[in-house]
Amino acid sequence: MSDYPLRAEAIKNQFKRAGIHFVVALPDRVTSHHLLKGLLADPDYHVVQVCKEDEGVSICSGLYAAGHKSVFMMQYTGFLDSINAIRGVGVEGRFPVCMIVGLLGKEPDVAPTQSKKFGVKIIEPILDVMGIEHRLIERDADTEQIAPVIEKTFKNSFPTAILIGREPR
């Protein structure tokens, strides 16, 4: 376990570093077990569980309008399902929604665009066409990018995506 490349704790530390209290989430098989369950059990975080991903985009936006930063965790399938809300609320409405997206089924150390999973392969091109900046997180060292991306989301008042390329443990 000690040489496992990505720790859930390293991601959680970045949320803390960015001053995140609210986490909006729908369970994602990549991050559920070690990250989301840990957040649910941690009194420092208020986890808002949603039934559908587009709700999450809007809840994060309402929280922002009320003066709070949040992140929004989901599986890539949920990202695809909530494209219209991300388009209308996030991109056109310029609400800062930082999406933490699990790439279920992505092969380790393979670029998402080279994945054999069709759904995984199309995520980055969709983000690019929407003008949404994204980062791939596969190792502990990559997690150092998370807090700066969260900060940039709110500074620019525009969505960003942090793609989780393997299960954090």
17 binds another protein per the rule CB under 8 A = no
50 binds another protein per the rule CB under 8 A = yes
- Calpha distance 143→4 (Å, rounded): 14
DSSP state of 140: G
Q: 3-state SS of the chain: helix, strand, coil percent to 5?
A: 45, 15, 35
Residue choice 17, 37, 87, 152 for contact with another protein (CB under 8 A): 87
Least distance (Å) between residue 42 CB and another protein: 17
81 binds another protein per the rule CB under 8 A = no
99 binds another protein per the rule CB under 8 A = no
Cβ neighbours of residue 120 closer than 8 Å, sequence gap 6 or more: 76, 103, 104, 105, 106, 112
124 binds another protein per the rule CB under 8 A = no
Interface residues toward another protein, by CB under 8 A: 22, 46, 48-52, 54-68, 70, 84-85, 87-90, 92-95
